[in-house]
Every structure is written in structure tokens, then in C-alpha cells.
């Protein structure tokens, strides 16, 4: 018996965009793994653990949200081929923490673009699902911004980032 096409279709451009968002989540997870490694080697175990948890979240529930949308249309996303992040110019802890903030903001922008595309292509169900992801993504940006501001303040007032590191909540 031949396999039948799914009766539920998804605009090809929206499909490509969602596949890219899935890839973005995996890339963010890989980036956070590398940031955690660097922080660990610098002696910041609390911050390193924070980024290990963030890496697992990006590759786990965050990527799964996008997969769930694709699966609703009977689409299996390709296995992600993660990019090796370039951390050469990220010499300080502040640089690394800022990179996380920027990464989350960039993800939100890409999700907004994907949501707009879904609306233009009348994929209103996808657009609605992306609303929920964007709401979650905005909280991620706020968390990253808050961590950066804490590190920035500690670095500026002489307490040092190590004070932030030792006060990181245990995972």
C-alpha cells in the first residue's frame, strides 16, 4: 500500500521558516553549551551551570514547541546540523552573558518574522501558536537582560562577577 499525503497542508515558505526556527533553537543550545564550557574554565561554576540548563532547554522544550507545530502538519523536521559558535572575540564574562541576551533577542525577531509570514500566507493556526512561543521568548529575553544587568552592576561596583556567580540559584 502506498503512503498517502497528509490532508493537512502547510505553506512551503512557512514550513521553511519553521524549520529554520527549529534549527535556531538547536544552535542556541549549542552556543550555550560552549558558553558554559568557557565559564567553567574561567572558574564561574554557577554561571556555567545556568548556561548548561539553558542549553538543555533550547534543545529540549524550546525546539519541541516548533516540532509540535510541524508535527501538527505531519512534517518531521530534519535533524539539525548545529553551527559551531565563534567565541573568539568574547573575552570577558560580560561578553558571554551579553551574547546570550543578544541571542534571545535575535530569536524573538526571527519568530516575529515567521509569525508575520504565517499571517501573510493565511496560516492563522500557526500564527496563533507562534504568539505563545513569542510570549515565552519575551520572558527569555527579560531573564537574559536581568542576568546581564546583574553581572554588569557587580563588575562596575567592584564586587565582581564572582559575587553573581556564587549567588546563582542551584539548578
Q: What local confidence, expressed as pLDDT, does residue 117 receive? A: 97
Residue 68's nearest CA partner among 22, 17, 10 is 22
Q: Is residue 106 domain-resident?
A: yes
Q: What local confidence, expressed as pLDDT, does residue 67 receive? A: 96
Q: Is residue 92 domain-resident?
A: yes
Q: What local confidence, expressed as pLDDT, does residue 155 receive? A: 82
Q: What local confidence, expressed as pLDDT, does residue 158 receive? A: 65
Q: Is residue 151 domain-resident?
A: yes
Q: What local confidence, expressed as pLDDT, does residue 159 receive? A: 73
Q: Is residue 38 domain-resident?
A: yes
Q: What local confidence, expressed as pLDDT, does residue 9 receive? A: 85
Q: What local confidence, expressed as pLDDT, does residue 39 receive? A: 94
Q: Is residue 169 domain-resident?
A: no
Instruction: Give the range of the structural domain holding residue 19, as residue numbers without chain letter.
Output: 12-162
Q: Is residue 7 domain-resident?
A: no
Pair 74, 6: CB distance under 8 Å? yes
Cβ-based neighbours of 136, under 8 Å, separated by 6 or more:
65
Cβ-based neighbours of 164, under 8 Å, separated by 6 or more:
46, 47, 147, 150, 151, 154
**CATH code: domain of residue 101:** 1.20.1260.10
Question: How many domains would you assign to the chain?
Answer: 1
Which residue shows C-alpha cell 505563545?
Answer: 132
Q: Is residue 91 domain-resident?
A: yes
Per-residue pLDDT of the chain (171 residues; tens, 9 = 90+): 677 676 778 999 999 999 999 999 999 999 999 999 999 999 999 999 999 999 999 999 999 999 999 999 999 999 989 888 888 888 899 999 999 999 999 999 999 999 999 999 999 999 999 999 999 999 999 999 999 999 999 887 767 888 898 888 765
Q: Is residue 167 domain-resident?
A: no
The string of DSSP codes covering the chain is: -PPPPPSS---HHHHHHHHHHHHHHHHHHHHHHHHHHHHHHHT-HHHHHHHHHHHHHIIIIIHHHHHHHHHHTT-PPPPP-PPPP--TT--SHHHHHHHHHHHHHHHHHHHHHHHHHHHHTT-HHHHHHHHHHHHHHHHHHHHHHHHHHHHHHHHHTTS-HHHHHHTSPP-
Amino acid at each position: 500500500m502506498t503512503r498517502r499525503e497528509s490532508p493537512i497542508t502547510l505553506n512551503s515558505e512557512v514550513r521553511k521558516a519553521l524549520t529554520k526556527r527549529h534549527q535556531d533553537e538547536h544552535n542556541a543550545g549549542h552556543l550555550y553549551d560552549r558558553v558554559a564550557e568557557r565559564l567553567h574554565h574561567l572558574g564561574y561554576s554557577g554561571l556555567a551551570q545556568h548556561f548548561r540548563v539553558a542549553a538543555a532547554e533550547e534543545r529540549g522544550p524550546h525546539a519541541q514547541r516548533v516540532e509540535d507545530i510541524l508535527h501538527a502538519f505531519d512534517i518531521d523536521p530534519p535533524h539539525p546540523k548545529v553551527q559551531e559558535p565563534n567565541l573568539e572575540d568574547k573575552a570577558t564574562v560580560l561578553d558571554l552573558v551579553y551574547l546570550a541576551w543578544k541571542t534571545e533577542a535575535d530569536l524573538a525577531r526571527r519568530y516575529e518574522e515567521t509569525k508575520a509570514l504565517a499571517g501573510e500566507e493565511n496560516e492563522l493556526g500557526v500564527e496563533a501558536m507562534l504568539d505563545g512561543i513569542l510570549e515565552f521568548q519575551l520572558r527569555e529575553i527579560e531573564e537574559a537582560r536581568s542576568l546581564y544587568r546583574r553581572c554588569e552592576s557587580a563588575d562596575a561596583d567592584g564586587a565582581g562577577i564572582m559575587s553573581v556567580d556564587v549567588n546563582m540559584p542551584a539548578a
